[in-house]
Structure 1
Amino acid sequence: MKPLVMDRRELQILTNCIYGSDTRYAHVTYPFFDLELFTLDMNKPELKDLVSYSDFDRARLQRKPVDRSVSSDELPSYNDLKTCLLTSGFVRYRNQAEVATRLRELRDEAKDPNKRPRQLFIAVDTNILYYRFLSRGMPMRDGDSGRLVEATDFRYVLSEIVQVEIDSRITHKYSRGEIEALSQLFAHKELLQEFRNGSGRRERLAKLAFNEMNYLMTELRALRIKGTGVRGKERNDIEIAQSYGSWAKEGDYDVLLLTADEDMMNHARTSELMAIQLDYPHEVPQHGRIDPWAVSDLLYDLAVTFGAVSVENRGLTILGEWAGKNSVDYGKERVKVLFEDEREQAEVERQQALCRSILS
């Protein structure tokens, strides 16, 4: 049978079929490292036995290239795993409660011209798009008041420098030589044929951020402002902050910069901007509950970030990249699923067709 293409939301069909087959535990692995990432308890649902930093790093070092035939950047890191756990809501920013309270306060102030007479806009740093905070991290519940803070509660502004920074990272595709070099390093090398002329790891991450940028521009209707990027990350960060600061002064607006970078907080202050820093989590628990609707988000994020992820005990592999995957596939958040069991694939296809029929 042909591989099945599904979108992110349809992965819920896949997990439902696993659960309906009386499989309680799904062992999720990274096939190229031959490494189990975690066990998904389908009954609760709960993530158990998450791989430790030391075990992940050891597996990565064993696969690290010894020459320049391929870049070590193509090997995912433990931080990549942590970011997937963050964007799916399994782990949270360390200061998430404080951020929710501050955003709620700003929203309420913006409604009262006596407290905040100027119009309020939220500006975003590049890393906020990579962490998909607006589409995945919102809504947030303010613990003090119990009230929700929605992304749609605010108006947004996006610097062209941020846009160009993301777009400029979508440049590299795997060459035949790189695929051959990776086949000498990776387990399950038979899967690598799917990656011929496919996007590299950093490019896949940039495409995820690009999707978030599209969400910001279309769903949240952000205003795009002028800015000119420069060479060097630190200098470019200064230019981003200054572009927002100049726009705020020219229009007499209040602008809050969202960032996950400590240095950018300093640049924001220099540009006379308000700023909130999201503190990236340090620790990952070995087990914990996960929202059942977030499981499909996690599998999708892992598949794209890592290139492939497997549910080993079910004979399933989810590919986030494949030869011929195009910008529409990325925009629609599609993955390709490989099945060992043809009957299981037929059942998933049947349910997928039924769901699509209902939604149409």
Structure 2
Amino acid sequence: MMDEIVTPDELQILLNLADEVRISYPLYRGDLLAALPEGARYRIEMTASREDYHAWLLQFGEIADELPSYSDLLECMLASGIIRYANQEAFDEMLQTYRRLKKDVYFGLDTNVLYHRFVSTNPHISPSSCILVNTVSDEIAFAVNRRYSAQKIAEITAYAPEQAAIIGELENKRTKKSRKAAYLAMREYRAIRDRAIEITAPAAHSHRREENDLTIVRALRAFEDERYALPVLLTADTYMADICDAEGLEYFLFERPYEIRVTSCRAGEFVRLLFNLAAVFGVVRCNDVHIFGEYGGKGSSLEDLKLRFSGGGLHEAFGRELKICRRLTALGIER
């Protein structure tokens, strides 16, 4: 076995060495999806259905919550920009209406919208038009550092002893909930916070979600009262929409798609998807290479991934291309 530590962008080197890409999860039987390069795009085939995920999870009893679900895959697709909310077109039309108003319009971001990386994947929304209530960042920070104990890793390994080496990489690493918080929500927060407007909520962060939701809405209402501006909360949570109705705050409620319906995507979107899957699932297999989002010895950088090669030929080819790309990058040259 041979390992390489890489950045998300360097995953493209691995993809360039394959005529076809098949993504799987080591503990499941069967591929999650397949992709074929077509120019600057990838043609995608979703080889596993919602029912397949349900059947896989049934085999893992009480540890199933820590394994990838169809909903997790859908979130990774949203965060990669490959699929959109079911009512995204209605929002795009509403956006044009907002821009015709005499008031400045700002978009308050609910926590779930950060998990879906909505701003990063939508060029029509500028971070400078977004509001981040500190309660949102507190919610993410609270979720980001839950880790697996040795006992929990042993419980997972008992269901798949043949994958003990793979599962063992996750000991003292983030749980699935924390991986989502770190690699989706926290990365989105960091990407936009320098340009967004950050405001302080009228109440401290609570460990009760309902209280935090009310605090976020009231912080945005206070922002509206203090400025000649219209804050619009963007959320994918119906409960949050109910609070907005009760408090008199403008909002847009996004609808998550039920099924993943996609046939192709841009190359950059597919690279983001591969990173998101490795990060949220903990590890995925890309053809014969394991990609670890979390692994033993990983430092503090959220950007690092570990590739584990099973054969020398592919590893040599990858290593050669990786060296060339890193040298060109150091010289300021894009390949």
TM-score normalised to the size of structure 2?
0.90
- Residue 333 of structure 2 corresponds to none
Q: Is the 8 A contact 1:33 1:63 kept in 2?
A: no
- Secondary structure in 2 matching 1:280: coil
Q: Select 2:72's aligned residue among 80, 86, 104.
A: 80
Counterpart residue identity of residue 65, structure 2: D
- Residue 319 of structure 1 corresponds to 292
Counterpart residue identity of residue 259, structure 1: T
Q: Is the 8 A contact 1:121 1:253 kept in 2?
A: yes
- Residue 158 of structure 2 corresponds to 184
Q: Is the 8 A contact 2:2 2:309 kept in 1?
A: no
- Secondary structure in 2 matching 1:198: coil
1:38-187 matches, within 5 Å, as: 38-43=33-38, 45-65=42-62, 71-106=63-98, 108-109=99-100, 115-117=101-103, 119-136=104-121, 138-139=122-123, 149-152=124-127, 154-186=128-160
Counterpart Cα distance in 1 of 2:239 and 2:74: 22
Counterpart Cα distance in 2 of 1:164 and 1:326: 22
- Secondary structure in 2 matching 1:203: helix
Identity, in percent, stands at 26
Structure 1 runs, 4 residues or longer, greater than 3 Å off? none
Counterpart Cα distance in 1 of 2:37 and 2:115: 29
Q: Which moved more, 1:42-51 or 1:126-135?
A: 42-51
Q: Select 2:197's aligned residue among 222, 236, 239.
A: 222
TM-score normalised to the size of structure 1?
0.84
Q: Is the 8 A contact 2:21 2:35 kept in 1?
A: yes
Cα deviation, 1:123-178, whole Å, max 9, x if unaligned, reads 11000111111112x12xxxxxxxxx2425x4222111111111111232111111
Q: Is the 8 A contact 1:241 1:267 kept in 2?
A: yes
Counterpart Cα distance in 1 of 2:300 and 2:234: 27
Q: Is the 8 A contact 1:123 1:158 kept in 2?
A: yes
Counterpart residue identity of residue 245, structure 1: R
Counterpart Cα distance in 2 of 1:271 and 1:346: 61
Cα deviation, 1:247-288, whole Å, max 9, x if unaligned, reads 221334321111111221222233332211221111223x61
- Secondary structure in 2 matching 1:238: helix
- Secondary structure in 2 matching 1:326: coil
- Residue 112 of structure 1 corresponds to none
- Residue 17 of structure 2 corresponds to 17
1:263-302 matches, within 5 Å, as: 263-285=239-261, 288-302=263-277
Q: Is the 8 A contact 1:7 1:335 kept in 2?
A: yes
Quote the offset at 1:359 in angstroms. Answer: 2.6
Counterpart Cα distance in 1 of 2:77 and 2:119: 16
Q: Return 5+ residue gaps in structure 2 as ranges.
A: 331-335
Counterpart residue identity of residue 358, structure 1: L
Alignment of 1:337 with 2:307, yes or no, is yes
Cα deviation, 1:168-203, whole Å, max 9, x if unaligned, reads 112321111111111111352221221121111111
Counterpart Cα distance in 1 of 2:199 and 2:7: 29
Query: What is the aligned residue count?
Result: 325
Q: Return 5+ residue gaps in structure 1 as ranges.
A: 66-70, 110-114, 140-148
Label 1:248 to 1:150 Cα distance change in 2 as closer, same or farther (>3 A). closer
Quote the offset at 1:2 in angstroms. Answer: 4.5
Counterpart Cα distance in 2 of 1:203 and 1:245: 30
- Residue 238 of structure 1 corresponds to 214
Counterpart Cα distance in 2 of 1:231 and 1:14: 42
Q: Is the 8 A contact 2:232 2:249 kept in 1?
A: yes
Cα deviation, 1:219-240, whole Å, max 9, x if unaligned, reads x333232342334222321121
Label 1:277 to 1:59 Cα distance change in 2 as closer, same or farther (>3 A). same
